Amino acid sequence: MLFRLIIYISTFFIFSCSGFNKKELSNQERFEKGQDYFVSKKFQKAKTEFEFIIQNEQGTNLGLESTFYLAKTLFELKSYDEASYNFNYYSMFSKDINNIEFAQFMKCKCSFKLTKPYNNDQSESLLCISMVQEFLDNFPYSIHVEEAYDMVVKLRNRIAKKHYETAKLYLKMKEFESAFYYFDIVLSDYYDTKYYDEAIISYIFTYIVMDDYNKATVYFDSNKSKFKSEKKLEEAQKILSKYKDSMGISGYFRLYR
């Protein structure tokens, strides 16, 4: 019994001493550990390290650099709201122009990731476009310019589709003035999207549905030079030819498809 007690006490002291001898990492070492985790794609572990440093290094350069890495880590974890906040915070206080440029671009990417499909409200898409345009104004020669423009193109096409599909819905309900209203938005505000030609064709088709072939012809003649695609111009011509006398079954199929 006495022997067992001595063994237990000895074991306790051995582990206690090893605990005392274990060196606690400095914040700089934790930062480097966090970087290693990030490179190894162990993002949750990297997040833990950078958050610890930020809490204990407020107002220091190490704390600020940890904010930058935390933002990148949160983006990889798809926590786009939090990532955007940290990219913005870093941009306000950093003096590293290259990292500021990158942080501002990534803030745009976060905003883009938070936008919704065309059949939802597009307020976030409009906000993102404004944010990207500000980035392009501030960094016109950035290596990220092409990707930034690509985001704008995708968002403008998405918003144009929203208006175009809304117009088509009104057309199906035979609410022609409302349909024209939304087609006009596409034609006036989203002339650089793939829905521009579609809106011209749909304008012509709407007059046909209204049983006003004359107006359909006049509209085509006034706008045929505006088509961006030769294929779409030919489609408009075929519609005028096909539905000259009546819409027929194919016309109603086109209307309600």
How many CB atoms neighbour CB 82 within 10 A?
A: 16
What is the per-residue pLDDT for 245? 75
Token digits for 30?
Answer: 């934790």
pLDDT one-digit tens code per residue, 102-155: 999 999 999 999 999 999 999 999 999 999 999 999 999 999 999 999 999 999
- The string of DSSP letters for 61-102 reads HHHHHHHHHHHHHHHHTT-HHHHHHHHHHHHHH---HHHHHH
Q: In b/e form, how buried is each residue of 83-122, taking b as 16+ CB within 10 angstroms?
A: bbbbbebbbeebeeeebbbbbbbbbbbbbbeebeebeeeb
pLDDT one-digit tens code per residue, 188-212: 999 999 999 999 999 999 999 999 9
Q: Which helix (H) or strand (E) holds 4?
A: helix 2-21
Phi, then psi, of 210 in degrees rounded to 5:
-75, 0
**Percent of residues, the chain, with pLDDT higher than 90:** 84
pTM to 2 decimal places:
0.85
CA distances for 156 relative to 115, 123, 144, 186, 206, angstroms: 12, 12, 19, 10, 24
* CA 99 remoteness from chain centre: 21
**Of 139, 145, 74, the residue nearest 113 (C-alpha):** 74
Does 5 score more than 60 pLDDT? no
Tell me the residue length of the chain.
Answer: 257
187: burial class by Cβ within 10 Å (0-12, 13-18, 19+)?
A: buried
**Cβ atoms 201, 235 nearer than 8 A:** yes
